Amino acid sequence: MPSVHSATYDLLRHHGLTTVFGNPGSNELPFLKNFPEDFRYILALQEAVVLGIADGYAQASGQPALVNLHAAAGTGNAMGALTNALSAHSPLVVTAGQQVRESIGVEPLLTNVDAALLPRPLVKWSHEPASAGDVPRAFSQAIHLAALPPAGPVYLSIPYDDWDRPAAEQAAHLVERRVHGRAQPPAALIAELAERLHGARNPVLILGAEVDTPGAYAAAVALADRQRLPVWAAPSIPRCPFPTTHPGFRGLLPAGMASIARLLEGHDLILVIGAPVFRYHQFDPGACLPAGAALVAILDDPLEASRPLMGEAILGDPQLSLEALLALLPASSRPAPQALPAPPALTGDAPGGMAPEQVFDIVAELAPADAVYVNESTSTTAALWQRLPMRHPRSYFFPAAGGLGFGIAAAIGAQLALPQRQVIGLIGDGSANYAITGLWTAVQYRIPAIFVILNNGTYGALRWFAGQLRAEQVPGLDVPGIDFCALAAGYGMRALKASDAAGLRDALRAALEAGEPMLIEVSTRFG
């Protein structure tokens, strides 16, 4: 009879989970012993970075990723990063070691006390198997549940003496299981919506991160073209669901209630696909919809469908729903939306460092057409969306819940998942410090992501909020005196500094030609 260890590795292999993202402790060593040659282990130096790398990998690949953490301490370190993974619907199977099963009751050191409660509410499901023999089945459930809509992280705590125990006799059947979860809304609802959309006077399409898959992305472009729809990206979006170079693209909606209503003024039908309605941030009281507008949302998360203040929601897979609408809709005679004027280019050098807009213009000028951007320069997000061309699915990643430490880590994970494309992280100096140890992982595994650090010596987003909230004389907003090139060198990474446009062009060209991980520190000014 196979052991729990061999049965679990067979299951992981069958599902393609042959990369383990981790930082091991003593409780995890029995799981990792005799590590199979067809698996790879990606080590990061702190658990939040482990989780962030796996998050970037899962989002970029569209497949579940396996995380191995050290009991309660490692889980605790990773929980800030779990907020982003949950909000982004990232399919993660997060495992943690547990003390020997018969000793858990006396709580020896490194016991994961109440293990299933620890990561809640930041996971879809959390479990510690009641017996060793049930471990492979629990892994099977975790893998399927992480991937089922709405996708998201799940958590398993495994006592470390379970691995050598015999698996249950039925474990061999687990590799044959298939669980299918993509659902199409009822045909009558789609037909009614198609009629409303075609008959609307001035409809608008708002797309969310769940449209950022190759099939749904193409279907969204086809729907926008056939119905001549202006298209917005949903507020606080973690991925880009539509080409920003398309003439119908209007940009990223702000994360304020009244601000969104003002921008949508004049539209009689607002169709939202693959996004919560809406993920606000700053308190912006006012009307949640413009007068005379109806809103219909299609999404696959029951919580997000039931939570909004307004409109109606239809549960369904975004791609299948888009394709079903396309099958019913003829071409519209409405005028096609015209492309918005490009923002003015910034030229010349100014004291105090480069403007972030100038940085983005140079990146857009030199980066490959299919570059992947990881954004954690949160105070400059609006400018980034205006200036960086994103033409393909899986071209943009952002911390979905606003938890810092995502950028460096997710860029590494995305580059691992998309080795044929160049990943460029655009990361603020405040954000970079949360995951700076990720540079070591990029060097050790030769992951050729490029990290552009926009260094203005302050937490720019907080500076902006301080002005909005009229919060004066607030401590802790500045972070001066950090030499990112020196930090990168300490982890073995090549690094270059740039203080003007010519220097940034030279540094970025060198990084793009190097084929290795590199950091570019750019002096920028705030405001």
Using DSSP's 3-state secondary structure scheme, residue 230 falls into: coil
> Which of 192, 199, 281, 492 is flagged as catalytic?
281
How far apart, in whole angstroms, are the C-alpha atoms of residue 106 and residue 102?
9
Let me know if 47 is a catalytic residue: yes
Let me know if 215 is a catalytic residue: no
Q: How far is CA 192 from CA 186, 314, 325, 453, in A?
A: 10, 12, 10, 49
Sequence length of the chain is 527
- C-beta separation of 422 from 367 below 8 A: yes
**Interstrand relation of 65-69 and 19-22 (parallel, antiparallel or unpaired):** parallel
- C-beta separation of 474 from 484 below 8 A: no
Let me know if 5 is a catalytic residue: no
> Which of 28, 128, 323, 357 is flagged as catalytic?
28
- C-beta separation of 409 from 59 below 8 A: no
Let me know if 144 is a catalytic residue: no
Amino acid at 155: Y
> Which of 5, 15, 22, 25 is flagged as catalytic?
25
Nearest by Cα to 142 from 67, 42, 31: 67
- C-beta separation of 363 from 507 below 8 A: no
R_g over Cα of the chain = 24
Task: Read off the DSSP letter of residue 167.
Answer: P
How far apart, in whole angstroms, are the C-alpha atoms of residue 508 and residue 362?
9
- C-beta separation of 160 from 28 below 8 A: yes
φ, ψ dihedrals at 272, nearest 5°: -110, 130
Per the structure block, which two tokens stand in for 13?
Answer: 């292999």
How many CB atoms are located within 10 Å of the residue 187 CB?
10
**Interstrand relation of 40-43 and 65-69 (parallel, antiparallel or unpaired):** unpaired
- C-beta separation of 67 from 421 below 8 A: no
> Which of 47, 128, 304, 521 is flagged as catalytic?
47
Let me know if 402 is a catalytic residue: yes
> Which of 215, 402, 499, 516 is flagged as catalytic?
402
φ, ψ dihedrals at 208, nearest 5°: -115, 180
- C-beta separation of 510 from 498 below 8 A: no
Beta bridge partners of 301: none
Nearest by Cα to 5 from 111, 128, 145, 163: 163
> Which of 16, 26, 181, 490 is flagged as catalytic?
26
How far apart, in whole angstroms, are the C-alpha atoms of residue 496 and residue 511?
9
How many CB atoms are located within 10 Å of the residue 61 CB?
18
Exposure string for 66-75, b = 16+ CB within 10 A, e = fewer? bbbbbbbebb
> Which of 15, 70, 89, 198 is flagged as catalytic?
70
Nearest by Cα to 498 from 479, 524, 525: 524
The gap from C-alpha 322 to its chain's centroid, in whole angstroms, comes to 22
- Residues taking part in catalysis: 25-26, 28, 47, 70, 281, 402
